[in-house]
Structures are given as C-alpha cells and as structure tokens.
Amino acid sequence: MNKLTTKEEEIMQVLWKLKKAFVKEVVAELPKPKPHYNTVSTVIRKMEDKGFVNHESFGNTHRYFPTISMEEYRKKYFSSAIHNYFENSYKNVVSFFAKEEKISADELREIIKIIENKQNQ
C-alpha cells in the first residue's frame, strides 16, 4: 500500500470523520478555497486504486468509505517515518521533539508514567 499524498490525506481525514460520503459531502468539509468537485472525485478514485477507499453505487453516483482506519494508517506510516528518519529509535524521536521544544518536561513525565503503568499491568 502506497503512502497518501498531502491532498489525499486531507480528503482521507474527511472520510474518516464522515465514515461514508458522496464527493459533494467531502468537498463541503474541505477548507477554503474549496477544490473543484471533479478534482476531488479524481483524487478519491486514485485513492480507491491505491486501496485506501472503496465505494457503494447508487445508480451513477458513488458513496465512498475508507478501507483502512486512521489508527492502521498512523501505525504504518509513523513506523515508516521512525525507521527512515530516526534510525528505528523511539528515543531519537523523543529527543528530536525535545530539542525542537515541541514537547515539555511535564509531557515527558506523563509519557514515562504511561510506560510504567503499561509495564506494571
């Protein structure tokens, strides 16, 4: 399964939110400036070719739905990013965010508590 493009991810976020949607419903949920209906339709069909989306037919129109959950997608591509950019080390990920000041000491303590609680279960 290929990675989604930025535009595909934006549309996928809408489909995950709505669960099932016609193209016009997806367009309505996208931020302004709204892409053209045909553009969104084309992107969704490409996502279907990639295996991320499927549809049910209602005559000449289709209602689309995700075939992969947000959680499945997150796991697959976050794991890939960690492998490709952080030498497969979660420690390197946390260190990166700490150096970039994207995570606080309090948040790190919270993460440690979560880890310790998991180990004690």
Domain ranges of the chain: 6-66, 70-120
Which residue matches tokens 């004690």? Answer: 120
Q: HSE-up of 96 (CA within 13 Å, CB side)? A: 10
Does domain 6-66 match CATH 1.10.10.10?
A: yes
- pLDDT tens-place string over residues 66-76: 999 999 999 88
Across the strands, what pairs with 37? none
pLDDT digits (tens, 9 = 90+) for 80-121: 889 889 999 988 988 898 888 888 889 989 988 998 888 887
Instruction: Evaluate if residue 30 carries a pLDDT over 90.
Output: yes
Q: What is the pTM of this model?
A: 0.77
